[in-house]
Each structure stands twice: as structure tokens, then as C-alpha cells.
């Protein structure tokens, strides 16, 4: 199966300055990273803080400039240097879900305004109230949320709304940067179940986390990053059962128990029913 999104020999560094580090010296955050993901598959990326996981996602969507290497979407190179080049299907096709919903929910705009702005970027824009309500229903919310602002919702609700914003463009790829780590464990399970259903619709995921317990149940393939490099990659179950690198083995040993995570997901609701806008979930 052909990859819907791929990065080839990606390198990126953050410039530094100061008496110790010197001036203009780049701290390498991505070092020759090559990865890909196919439709309907989940590529999990794991590693400790500072390993380059989030930097990789931000570089893919164009938030980090000055990288070298190639990013391909549906086989074609992505050019982040001009807005026109990025709008050739990539912006709508690849959407990012941030750990903090504030990364995609403007606090000064209503949910209706946020979703309408996202829908405007879709290949075939749809702007009716019925389309907006359908988006909310897909993530377990209802139409009463449309005319409220992000500050009026709980963390779990805000993350669902951020996912709805990402889905508005009907993307082929979702880049998830620690989307559940700040949520209560029961809400985590519901969000992961939602991602499982979206995967079943043929969407591809790159799912960044520090928790191998989560990836053991959602990922098809896991890539382990350390100091900006991919040090191990393989099928999720095989990598967790028999890691080849000592660093990977250390991450597994430090991860929450996979058995507990499995029970949590098993008991999650099979369908996310629309929740009242003022509920605590």
C-alpha cells in the first residue's frame, strides 16, 4: 500500500545564541528522520521529552521552517515556502491535533466561527448548521455548543471540539501531539475509541506520545525516537514484546502497565453519544 504521508531524511535544528553555545549554532532536533504511514494505519511515535516527537509533527505541517529533507503527501513533495504551494491539497489533507486544545481553538471566537473557518479550507466547503452539528455529533457533542466559546467547556469537551475542527476539512491524515495526556483516564479512553473509529474510516494517524501503553492498543507501527533520531521501528506488538534497543526496553519498563490500559479501553463506550454542552466530560 502506498504511503499517504512520508518524510525522507528530515533534519531540523533550533538556532541558539549566548556565551556558552556561541551564536548561530543550531541544536539538532531532527536527525535524518525517515518515516511513512499508509491509509487506515496508525504510526505511533514514542520517546522521552526532548526526543524530537513534537518537533517532527510541527515540521511536517510547516510550523518549523529551515528544515532539510523531503515531506511527501500522496507521493508529491510538499513545499512550505509559499502559501499557494501549501494549499495544493496539503492543508486540508493533513490536520494537527494539539495536546492543548488552545492550540487550535481561538478563545475569542465561538465554536461556530471556528468550525466555519475550518470548513472554508475543505476541498468542497459546506457551511450549513446541519454540517456543523454533524461534526459535533461525530465527536460526542451536540449543537448547543456552537454559540459558546472555548472557556465554557471542560478539558475533555475542548479536546473533542479541537478534533471536530480538525475533521472539518475531511483530512486523510491526523497528526496527534499528545492528545490525551492532559485528560482524565476515562475521557482518554473515549477519545482513543473515537480515534479507533476514525482509523476504521480509512484515515491515517501519526500519534505522538510518551506512553507506550497507549500505543500498544492503538498503533500498528511504533517508531522510537531518541535525541532527534529514530532508533527503532517495527510492528507495535512485536516491538513491545521484544524490543531490540536498550533505550526502547527502558521506555517499556517505565510505561504504565499494559494490562491496566487494556482493561480501560475494553470498558470504554463503543459509541460516543452526544454529551450536553455543560456536562463535565
- Give me the domains of the chain, ranges plus CATH numbers: 38-66+86-266 (3.40.50.300)
According to DSSP, the β-strands at 173-177 and 76-77 are: unpaired
- DSSP letter for 144, please: G
pTM: 0.84
Give the rounded distance of the alpha carbon of 207 from its chain centre.
5
What does residue 124 show for φ and ψ, rounded to 5 degrees?
A: -125, 85
210 vs 48, 114, 192, CA distance in Å?
6, 29, 15
Cα–Cα distance, 226 to 52 (Å, whole number)? 7
Contact (Cβ atoms closer than 8 angstroms) between residue 20 and residue 42:
no
Q: Where are the alpha helices (DSSP H) in the chain?
A: 53-60, 83-86, 90-93, 111-119, 129-138, 155-167, 185-200, 212-218, 236-241, 246-254, 258-266
Neighbouring residues of 275: CB distance < 8 A, sequence distance ≥ 6: 140, 141, 142, 157, 281
- Look at residue 173 and give its three-state secondary structure: strand
Q: How far apart are the first and last CA of the chain?
A: 38
Mean pLDDT, range 106-123, rounded to an integer: 87
Phi, psi dihedrals of residue 191, rounded to the nearest 5°? -65, -40
Contact (CB, 8 A) for 219 and 265: no
Mean pLDDT of 37-62: 94
From 6-10, 13-17, 211-215, 259-263, the region with the lowest mean pLDDT? 259-263
Q: Is the pLDDT of residue 116 over 70?
A: yes
Query: Could you report the per-residue pLDDT of 145-176, keeping only the tens digit for each?
Result: 999 999 999 888 888 899 999 988 889 999 99
31-45, 72-86, 166-180: least confident range: 72-86
CA-CA distance, 73 to 228, in Å (whole number)? 22
Q: How much is the pLDDT for 155?
A: 82
Element spanning 109, H or E: none
For residue 155, the 8-state DSSP code is: H
Amino acid at each position: 500500500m502506498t504511503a499517504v504521508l512520508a518524510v525522507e531524511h528530515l533534519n531540523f535544528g533550533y538556532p541558539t545564541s549566548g556565551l556558552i553555545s556561541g551564536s548561530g549554532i543550531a541544536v539538532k532536533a531532527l536527525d535524518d528522520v525517515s518515516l511513512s504511514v499508509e491509509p487506515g494505519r496508525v504510526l505511533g511515535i514514542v520517546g522521552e521529552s526532548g526526543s524530537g516527537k513534537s518537533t517532527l509533527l510541527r515540521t511536517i505541517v510547516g510550523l518549523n521552517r529551515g528544515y532539510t529533507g523531503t515531506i511527501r503527501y500522496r507521493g508529491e513533495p510538499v513545499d512550505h515556502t509559499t502559501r499557494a504551494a501549501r494549499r495544493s491539497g496539503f492543508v486540508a489533507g493533513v490536520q494537527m491535533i494539539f495536546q492543548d486544545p488552545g492550540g487550535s481553538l481561538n478563545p475569542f471566537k465561538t465554536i461556530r466561527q471556528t468550525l466555519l473557518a475550518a470548513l472554508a479550507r475543505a476541498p468542497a466547503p459546506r457551511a450549513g448548521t446541519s454540517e456543523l452539528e454533524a461534526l459535533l455529533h461525530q465527536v460526542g457533542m451536540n449543537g448547543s455548543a456552537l454559540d459558546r466559546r472555548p472557556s465554557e467547556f471542560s478539558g475533555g469537551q475542548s479536546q473533542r471540539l479541537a478534533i471536530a475542527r480538525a475533521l472539518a476539512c475531511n483530512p486523510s491524515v491526523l497528526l496527534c501531539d499528545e492528545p490525551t495526556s492532559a485528560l482524565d483516564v476515562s475521557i482518554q479512553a473515549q477519545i482513543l475509541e473515537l480515534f479507533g473509529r476514525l482509523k476504521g474510516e480509512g484515515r491515517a494517524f501519526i500519534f505522538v506520545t510518551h506512553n507506550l501503553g497507549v500505543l500498544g492498543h492503538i498503533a500498528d507501527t511504533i517508531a522510537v525516537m531518541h535525541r532527534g533520531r529514530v532508533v527503532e521501528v517495527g510492528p507495535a506488538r512485536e516491538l513491545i514484546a521484544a524490543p531490540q534497543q536498550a533505550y526502547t526496553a527502558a521506555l517499556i519498563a517505565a510505561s504504565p502497565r499494559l494490562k491496566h490500559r487494556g482493561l480501560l479501553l475494553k470498558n470504554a463506550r463503543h459509541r460516543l453519544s452526544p454529551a450536553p454542552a455543560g456536562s463535565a466530560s
